Structure 1
């Protein structure tokens, strides 16, 4: 009976999590490179170029692709002929591997996991515990798949218990537009069909662990109904015109994966789990002979894409920015921001609300300032900050009126804003700008200095002041209320309508 040493499993999990923090799977990079070459939307092409450039930078620099280094999910198929040589539980051993990966001083990963989720929401500081799924299988091998799933894409998970006669295709096409762009397309859709509610959800997540092979599938043709469904959904979801970062374009999904399971005659449970542009998963096997460490990828397989600012991009000085200048920005304008900007996200906004409710003033003056929704990775070496990509802006929608009343000129985040927020921006004659989700290391290179301004105890959620130089953003909502996350996909959907 093969004996799996505790240390071998710990070292293998730790190595895998470090590996996927800065190496995209090669199948994803190839598929995204193909999408870049096909893309006709200038905004989407620019976004994909940033993601690909960021991918190479992260691979070379061994720094995270995205500042949200994810909640760890582990799928274990444990051979029944194997024994774990440990006095600890399998969960505890895997979590020790997670802990070592996230606290690695050479490449610390952001700890995003909070305990007591309904109430105190205290950060566990080491990104544990992970979510572990275990299946006992015949054989003498332990097969492990490790994934790190960002909150932006995880939060867009959808589930419905369909009637047996309902169309899965219709439900998916109705549902995907409601997911917005917070899941950072282009990515993948994982779909689970059948079983029970929880089984469908797990299958949807597990399906995303398979390599991207849509081009190969289309080339050889489908061999069963599920493969036909994958192709149909791939074509019809892309025909929605959502595009990279929700800006409108040809490619929203690179692949659609489906797993199914027998279900009750009265039921048809269906789940969708999207995977974002920071796709992170890896697979290894243990046989009792030592740890399994992942091989280094061949960076020559990365597409020869190097993002540079659009020659028509407008340079904006944040230190002298006025409401009049903001009012002149047009939807889709690409800007390069330089000067001092504030940061803040969920926890900081809540603190500000609590202060105002008590009749107190915030510790920072927001008048005529720009705020960036971000929670960066800790810096290493001579870095000012670690990877610092945008977080999903819709979570801050409920604070928009409050912050605009405090004098903000503009906000920077990722994904769309809700209707009331767009209306509020128009009423205040202010703007919302998007940075590219999945380009965190690239964005961090634009940050020249950083200092804490308030709420230092919140760590990465504190309010900082960044001094930036040529930070790339796109005008998503203008002072007139024009919204590219509505107009961009609509225009491309009309252009692609014959497909649907």
Structure 2
């Protein structure tokens, strides 16, 4: 009867979360490289190149693929013959492993978890507690799957209960466009069918832990209804034309994974959870002989893809920018930004709104006049870094603050990821402002453009504090111009092969 030691278990959990912070699964790298080769959209191909280059940089430097280093999710299958050498609970040991991983001083990961979610929303500082799913099974080993799930993709999770005669394909094709691009495609769609509401959601999450194999399935053909459904959804979701980062293109999903479970005769529960461009998961088994041994990918597994600014890329000096200049920028145009930008996310926007509503001034040192705000919560720097990985967060969460910020603070531009909603686009058009998009999933690459960084307000918010960055040649794309034209509407329309009216 094998005995699993507390030390081995905790170390394995910690090592695994460090491992997935900077190593993409090899199947994802290869699938993304294949998508890059066949992509025809210039903007989407550029975005995929940034993701691939960022991926290799992170593997080489052991730094996070994305600034959102995720909420820790752990699946355990514990053999009933296993003994434990510990006085702690399974949850306590998992959380200690997460704590050690996220506070590792050589590769410190971003603390994103807040307790008291409808109250103080206090950051727990170490990314605990994890979300743990435990199953007792026959056997004498402990099978562990760890995943780090980013908020941008998790927020796009969907659920419905169809009638038993309902059409799953129709629901998926109606729902995916409603998700927007905040989940950072190209990624993977996980679908759970059956059981109850909570079982379907769990199945969808578990399906995302499987290896990408859609190309092999296409080659051999479907052997059952679930495989037929996977192939149909893969083809039809990609035919929507959403593309990388929602810019329009041939590849929105790299695979569609499906798990099912028996359900009530009156029900057809269906859950859908996307995995983003920072797809992160690892699998290992403990048998009492020591901690897990995780094998890193070889650098040869990455394609020989490079990224550099195109010949038509416009260089912009943010310190001297004028309204007349931004009025010239067109949706889909590539820019390189140099100069000072101010950062701000959800919590900072809420505090600014409260101050302005109370007639109070903004904190000393916060001057948005004629400036750009970057929606980002960076990872803490290590060694000689100016800042850690600092990719964009989903811009739509700031939509309700956009009119206020444009009308009362003097900002003229915003930088984030994914599309803006009607409310924000209306404000952008009204104030003749601009919205720029940076690539989600290229956080380490983006951070290399940041030449100085300092906190200027709300230091108590941690990663959500307001920073001032000085950047040089930061790559972005014009997403919404001063007239309200959006690349996230124009781009996908060029590649959409499915008529929404006929679905």
Q: Any gaps of 5 or more consecutive residues in structure 1?
A: none
Paired positions, count = 499
Q: TM-score, normalised on structure 2?
A: 0.98
Q: Give the C-alpha shift of residue 452 in structure 1.
A: 1.4
Give the Å deviation of 1:231: 0.4
Deviations 1:250-287 (A, max 9, x none): 00000000000000000000000000000000000000
Query: How far apart, CA to CA, are the structure 2 residues paired with 1:181 and 1:47?
Result: 13
Shift of 1:390: 0.1
Partner in structure 1 of residue 470 of structure 2: 467
Counterparts in 2 of 1:426-445, with a 5 A limit? 426-445=429-448
The yes-or-no answer on 1:233 pairing with 2:236 is: no
Deviation at 1:495? 8.5
- The C-alpha deviation readout for 1:345-401, integer Å capped at 9, x for no partner, is 111111101101111121212110001000000001110000000000011001101
CA contact (8 A) 1:341 1:468 kept: yes
User: Which whole-Å CA distance do the structure 2 matches of 1:240 and 1:66 have between them?
Assistant: 26
Matched residue SS, 1:204: helix
Further displaced range: 340-349 or 485-494: 485-494
Residue aligning to 1:176: 176
Q: Look up the match of 1:453.
A: 456
Over 3 Å off, 4+ runs: 494-497
Counterparts of 1:211 and 1:496, CA distance in 2: 31
Instruction: Give runs of aligned pairs for residues 54-453 of structure 1, distance below 5 A.
Output: 54-363=54-363, 364-405=366-407, 406-453=409-456
> In 2, distance between residues paired with 1:84 and 1:380?
36
Counterpart check, 1:492 vs 2:487? no
The DSSP-based 3-state class of the residue aligned with 2:127 is coil
Deviation at 1:84, TM superposition (A): 2.0
The answer on whether the counterparts of 1:226 and 1:258 sit within 8 Å (CA) in structure 2 is yes
How many angstroms does 1:310 deviate by?
1.4
Separation in structure 1 between the aligned mates of residue 459 and residue 169 of structure 2, nearest angstrom: 48
> How far is 1:430 from its partner?
0.6
TM-score relative to the length of structure 1: 0.99
Secondary structure of the residue aligned to 1:143 is strand
SS of alignment partner, residue 136 of structure 1: strand
| Separation in structure 2 between the aligned mates of residue 483 and residue 166 of structure 1, nearest angstrom | 34
Over aligned residue pairs, what C-alpha RMSD do you find?
1.2
- Cα distance in 1, alignment partners of residues 139 and 307 from structure 2: 48
Shift of 1:494: 4.3
Distance 1:456 1:394 in 2: 24
Cα deviation 1:164-210 (Å, max 9, x = unaligned): 11100000000000000000000000000000000000000000000
Asked if 2 retains the 8 angstrom alpha-carbon contact of 1:239 and 1:496, the reply is no
**SS in structure 2 at match of 1:255:** strand
SS in 2 for 1:438: coil
CA distance in 2, matches of 1:171, 1:307: 37
Partners of 2:73 and 2:200 lie apart in 1 by 16
Residues 214 and 255, structure 1, Cα contact 8 Å, conserved in 2: yes
Hey, what does 1:2 align to over in structure 2? 2
Residue 451 (structure 1) shift: 1.2
* Whole-Å separation in 2 of the counterparts to 1:264 and 1:138: 27
CA–CA distance in 2 between the matches of 1:44 and 1:123? 35
The Cα of 1:297 is off from its aligned counterpart by 1.3
Deviation per CA, 1:28-85, whole angstroms, max 9, x where unpaired? 0000000000000000000000000000000000000000000011111111111222
SS of structure 2 residue aligned to 1:473: strand
**Cα shift at 1:293:** 2.3
- Distance in structure 2 (CA, Å) of the matches to 1:431 and 1:83: 60
Structure 2 portions without partners, runs of 5+ = none
- Counterpart CA distance in 2 for 1:496 and 1:356 is 45
| Equivalent residues of 1:412, 1:435 under 8 A apart | yes
Superposed counterparts of 1:32-51, under 5 Å? 32-51=32-51
